[in-house]
Structure 1
Amino acid sequence: MKSVKQLAIRGAIWTIVGFGGIQILRFGNNLILTRLLEPEYFGLMALVTTIRVGLELFSDVGIGQNIVNSKRGDEPTFLNTAWSIQAIRGVVIWFLCILIAYPIAQFYNDVRLWWLIPIVTLSSVIDGFSCTSVHTLHRRMVLGKLSLYELIMQASFLSTLILLVWFYPNIWSLAIAPVIGAIYKLVSSYWLIPKYSNHFEWEPEAVKEILSFGKWMFVASTLMFAAEQTDRLVLGKILSFEMLGVYTVAYTLASIPREVIKQLSYKVIFPAISHQSDLPRPTLRAKIIRQRWLMLFTCAIVLAGLVTVGDLVVGILYDKRYAAAIWMMPILCSGIWFSLLFYTISPALLAISKPLYSAQSNFARFGIIALGVPLANYSFGVLGAIIVIAFSDVPLYIVNLYGLWQEKLTCFAQDIQTTAFFIAVLALFLAIRNHLGFGLPIQTLF
């Protein structure tokens, strides 16, 4: 039997390799699609995807987290009950999308949304019937197999998307592709673990446990959506869909380090801490801090590099329609450091069954975006809105820090030291760039 540390190390390697491969595929796919389609289409799809994700998070009861964290997470009855809840939830989401499609189309003054929303969110129904085998692999930390599976699924989806857009370069190809991708996942999820399947079952005790844990996950997930997706909803109203598409390209590239850490947070850090959550708090805190050093130092170097050269990459790879993404990129990258501090420690609060702190953290970020972005855009234009979005993770981090202090898991001293290291590395990289004659990343603004 491998130790939790060995499983975590192996899981981290596989997660980085698998997710890194997925990001490379997405990046290549993005380059191809931006040449075949208008920026407006990316803005429309960003808005539709935000609405779909929002309804999924508003109805989230933490099925995956329950399976990973529960002592009954390997029992067939518990798994089948969880699957049943998941399937019902998917159908409900789609019906809600049908109901809200018309008012949303009216609000954003685009009749295409009336049809795009029901088509894209049909994938939620299909996803709901997918096997819980993926969550079981998370629980067992069999992340090599899981990473390979996700890489194959992503490659299948993206190749299908490119073929559709190649023959039919319109918004409807972007809408249909997620539905086809959901079908791929549905079928393949029943092949992941031999002799593993789900069927409808409803055990009251399992339902009670899932919903008891899920009531806080619902709050946390709802506010997570508000925190992470409100920017697109607000920008979709105050900017054109074309500018929203440009912002989406810049944000997607800038968020790569955050997405990698989020994957590690969910797939490695959370299950690893869950296995040790019964330890005394000082012992658990010492273990977390010891393992966190390497992650933060590595992230600091990677993020500093992305801030330094990200604008050059955008300028080389994208055409003049995406020129605004050049100056957006370094600004958005700079604020991601606080996300990295948050996601490398926030799973500890979830593992000790304290998801309320996550909800409070996300509410703080939501407040900054919902109020700050429109005001900043009114006073300083698009630049002001982007700066507010870039540093909206600061309140997220501060509130989470309070929760860690309350639960005797604080790591503030470590955060100060690694932040100083990040600033020093960034200053060095910028000095080297300037010395080589490339100026500063935001020079296009002047």
Structure 2
Amino acid sequence: MPSLKGVAIKGTIWTFLGYGASQSLRLANNLILTRLLAPDLFGLMRLIMALIMGLNLFSDIGIAPSIIQNPRGEEPKFFNTAWTIQVIRGIGLWLLSLLLAWPIAKAYENEQLLWLIPIVTFNTLLTGFNSTALATLSRRIDIGKFTIFQLGAQVISLIAMIVWALFSPTIWALVFGSFLSSVVKLVWSHRLSPEIKNRFQWDPAAARELFSFGRWIFFSTALSFLSSQFDSFMFPKLTSFEMLGIYTVAFTFADIPRMVIGTLSNKVLFPIISRRADLPRPVLRNKILAKRWILLVGLIAILTILASFGDFIVLRLYDDRYAQASWMLPLLALGVWPAVLLRTNSPALMAIGKSNYAAFGNLFRFLFMAVGLPLGFYWGGLFGVVLVVTLNDLPPYLVLNYGLEREGLSGIKQDFQATLLLIASIGFMVMGRYFLGWGIPTFSYFFP
């Protein structure tokens, strides 16, 4: 039987390879589609996808984390009860989206949303029938099989979007690609682990455990949606769907470090720490921090590139319609740093069953966004809005570090050291480009 260390290393390698391949495909698809489709279509689709995310997160009771964390996670009674809840939830979410379609279409004065929302959100119903084998793969840290599954579905979806857009450059290209991805994942998920055959079943003890573990996850994910997607709902109201599409281009690149460490955190760090959660806190803390420094140095390298040269990336890859994304990208990339620090050690709180800290962290993040975005737009226009988004990971960082300190798992000293290294790295790069006559990132907003 392979050692836990070997499994972790293998899982980490697969995570980075899979994420790199996924982002490369996503970038290629994005570059092609932005030349075939108008920016407002991406803005419209982002709003709908934000709605889907909201429906999912507002009803999330942590089914996958429960299967990963619970000792009964591989018992048929347990995962079949989890699957039954998941199916009921998926159907309920789609029915709820039907009720929301009309008021949302009226709020944004866009009749397309009236029929787009029910069609696109049908994916939530399909996702509800996905096999629990996906969570079991994460429990076993079998990242290779999971990565191939994700990439395969992504390739099929991207090809479908591009082919449709070539013949008919409408929002239907994005809608069809999203639908096909859900269908492929549904069918494929039930073939990943032949020994896991999901069926409708209800075990009261398993249901109690699922709801008990998931009650704080429910609040945390609901608040996470409100805080992380509030910009998607506010941008069209404050600016336009076209500007939301431009902002999405910048945000997609800036969010790469967060997505990298988020994937690694969910698929590797959380399962590994869950297996070691019974260790004395000082021992567990030292084990986490020893490996964490390596991750932080790698992420500092990525952030330095995005914060120092992100404007060049946008200007070289996109046409003039997306030029404003060039000053947004470096600023947004800087704001990802607190989230990077959190996601490299906060899985420890979830692993020891302390999911309440994440809930409060997301609450303060939401409050910051709800108050900050309108004020930012009032005082600073578009720049003020982007600046608020840049700073929105600071509130949860403070809250979760309070929790880590209370539980004897704090890494605040390491955070400070890594932050100094990031500042020095970006400062060196920005100074170099300034002396080469390339200007300073984000200053193009003030001096076009």
User: TM-score, normalised to structure 2's length?
Assistant: 0.98
Q: CA deviation at 1:384?
A: 0.7
In 2, distance between residues paired with 1:55 and 1:75?
A: 28
Q: CA deviation at 1:408?
A: 1.0
Q: 1:32-47 alignment to 2 at 5 Å? A: 32-47=32-47
Q: Quick check: 1:297–1:418 contact (8 Å CA) kept in 2? A: yes
* Partner-residue secondary structure (3-state), 2:229: helix
CA distances 1:140-165 after superposition (whole Å, capped 9, x unpaired): 00111211221111111111111122
Q: Quick check: 1:306–1:333 contact (8 Å CA) kept in 2? A: yes
In 2, distance between residues paired with 1:98 and 1:165?
A: 27
Partner of 1:185: 185
Partner of 1:169: 169
Partner of 2:49: 49
Partner of 1:71: 71
Please state if 1:324 is matched with 2:329: no
Q: Quick check: 1:234–1:370 contact (8 Å CA) kept in 2? A: no
Which deviates more, 128-137 or 192-201? 192-201
Q: Quick check: 1:119–1:176 contact (8 Å CA) kept in 2? A: no
Q: 1:319-398 alignment to 2 at 5 Å? A: 319-398=319-398
Partner of 2:425: 425
- Identity, % of aligned positions: 46
Which segments of 5 or more consecutive residues in structure 1 lack a partner in the other structure?
none
Which deviates more, 432-441 or 217-226? 432-441
Please state if 1:280 is matched with 2:283: no
Q: Quick check: 1:361–1:397 contact (8 Å CA) kept in 2? A: yes
In 1, distance between residues paired with 2:333 and 2:406?
A: 30
In 1, distance between residues paired with 2:28 and 2:422?
A: 29
Q: CA deviation at 1:234?
A: 1.3
Q: Could you tell me which amino acid in structure 2 is paired with residue 16 of structure 1?
A: F
Q: Could you tell me which amino acid in structure 1 is paired with residue 317 of structure 2?
A: L
Q: CA deviation at 1:443?
A: 3.0
CA distances 1:106-141 after superposition (whole Å, capped 9, x unpaired): 111111111111111100100110111111110000
In 2, distance between residues paired with 1:3 and 1:401?
A: 31
Which deviates more, 190-199 or 306-315? 190-199
CA distances 1:43-64 after superposition (whole Å, capped 9, x unpaired): 1111111011001000001110
Q: Quick check: 1:292–1:344 contact (8 Å CA) kept in 2? A: yes
Q: CA deviation at 1:176?
A: 2.8
CA distances 1:143-200 after superposition (whole Å, capped 9, x unpaired): 1121122111111111111112222211122223212211000111111123432111
Q: CA deviation at 1:309?
A: 1.2
In 1, distance between residues paired with 2:395 and 2:120?
A: 32
Matched residue count: 446
Partner of 1:12: 12
Q: Could you tell me which amino acid in structure 2 is paired with residue 428 of structure 1?
A: F
* Partner-residue secondary structure (3-state), 1:293: helix
Q: Which runs of 4+ in 1 moved over 3 A?
A: none
Partner of 1:229: 229
In 1, distance between residues paired with 2:145 and 2:180?
A: 23
Partner of 2:86: 86
* Partner-residue secondary structure (3-state), 2:114: helix
Q: Could you tell me which amino acid in structure 2 is paired with residue 236 of structure 1?
A: P
In 1, distance between residues paired with 2:158 and 2:172?
A: 15
Q: CA deviation at 1:367?
A: 1.0
In 1, distance between residues paired with 2:292 and 2:200?
A: 41
Q: Could you tell me which amino acid in structure 2 is paired with residue 433 of structure 1?
A: R
In 2, distance between residues paired with 1:296 and 1:367?
A: 28
Q: CA deviation at 1:379?
A: 1.2
In 1, distance between residues paired with 2:236 and 2:443?
A: 27
In 2, distance between residues paired with 1:401 and 1:349?
A: 10
User: TM-score, normalised to structure 1's length?
Assistant: 0.98
Q: Quick check: 2:261–2:340 contact (8 Å CA) kept in 1? A: yes
Partner of 1:25: 25
Partner of 1:441: 441
Q: Could you tell me which amino acid in structure 2 is paired with residue 164 of structure 1?
A: W
Q: Quick check: 2:160–2:173 contact (8 Å CA) kept in 1? A: no
Which segments of 5 or more consecutive residues in structure 2 lack a partner in the other structure?
none
Which deviates more, 220-229 or 157-166? 157-166
Please state if 1:239 is matched with 2:239: yes
Q: Could you tell me which amino acid in structure 2 is paired with residue 7 of structure 1?
A: V
Q: CA deviation at 1:435?
A: 2.6
In 2, distance between residues paired with 1:391 and 1:330?
A: 13
Q: Quick check: 1:216–1:355 contact (8 Å CA) kept in 2? A: yes
Q: Quick check: 2:311–2:441 contact (8 Å CA) kept in 1? A: yes
Q: Quick check: 1:131–1:189 contact (8 Å CA) kept in 2? A: yes
Q: Could you tell me which amino acid in structure 1 is paired with residue 279 of structure 2?
A: L
Q: Could you tell me which amino acid in structure 1 is paired with residue 305 of structure 2?
A: G
Which deviates more, 127-136 or 166-175? 166-175
Q: Quick check: 1:330–1:442 contact (8 Å CA) kept in 2? A: yes
CA distances 1:380-418 after superposition (whole Å, capped 9, x unpaired): 100011011011111111111101011111110000000
In 2, distance between residues paired with 1:398 and 1:196?
A: 41
Q: 1:151-162 alignment to 2 at 5 Å? A: 151-162=151-162
Q: Quick check: 2:162–2:173 contact (8 Å CA) kept in 1? A: no
